[in-house]
Structure 1
Amino acid sequence: LGGGEGGISAEELSSWAETIPYEILCSAGMRSKRLYKG
């Protein structure tokens, strides 16, 4: 989830949290502030 090479993948984080990668990705989007340009 960010960080490029050597970063933590959604699969790895989901195994630590005992959930599925989809849930990790969706919850991250809900907490992130969105900035729009233009």
Structure 2
Amino acid sequence: MTCHRVPTRVSALLLFFSPATREEPQPPPPTSGQKHR
């Protein structure tokens, strides 16, 4: 098992999941960021 070598299955999954996660992003609360500063 080589970590450096990425199997095509993982690559395909990552490519497939990339758009899925981008479609429903989880942006942090802006108020919390400003209050934390």
Superposition TM-score tier, normalisation by shorter sequence: 0.3 to 0.5
Calculate the TM-score normalised by the size of structure 1: 0.32
Calculate the TM-score normalised by the size of structure 2: 0.32
Report 1 or 2 for greater relative contact order, CA contacts < 8 Å, sequence distance ≥ 6.
1
Structure with higher helix content: 2
Which one has the largest radius of gyration? 2
